[in-house]
Amino acid sequence: MLYVLAEIQAKPGKAQIVKQALLQLLEPTRQEEGCQQYDLFADESVEGLFLMQEIWTTEQALEEHNNTAHLRNFGEYCKQQDALAHVTLRRLGFVG
């Protein structure tokens, strides 16, 4: 299994744009082969900070996800809206 935590920070005043775009990713991604978990969280103490908790069965499944039209569309839309401050992807090792 591959564990990923994506940290998505919206620019000031753009949190709703980013949130709506992220919500559009949930269902198509959850339908992808190899997706075990794809859950969106909002940090309650940092405005516009979203976390996507992901679990993938294989490296190939994650790579295929990274090349999907819906993920590319998310990136293009957020770029057009100048909505993202940063996106950080963290690969996690399961400890216990």
CATH topology of domain 2-92: Alpha-Beta Plaits (3.30.70)
Q: Read off the pLDDT of each residue in 84-92 and give the average, rounded to a whole number.
A: 97
CA distance linking residue 37 with residue 30, whole number of Å? 7
Q: Could you tell me what percent of the chain has a pLDDT over 90?
A: 100
pTM for the complete prediction?
0.94
Give percent helix, percent strand, percent coil of the chain, each to the nearest 5. Answer: 40, 35, 25
Q: Read off the pLDDT of each residue in 38-42 and give the average, rounded to a whole number.
A: 98
Which uninterrupted H or E stretch holds 1? none
CA distance linking residue 93 with residue 78, whole number of Å? 29
**Which one, of 51, 53, 52, 48, lies nearest residue 83 by Cα?**
48
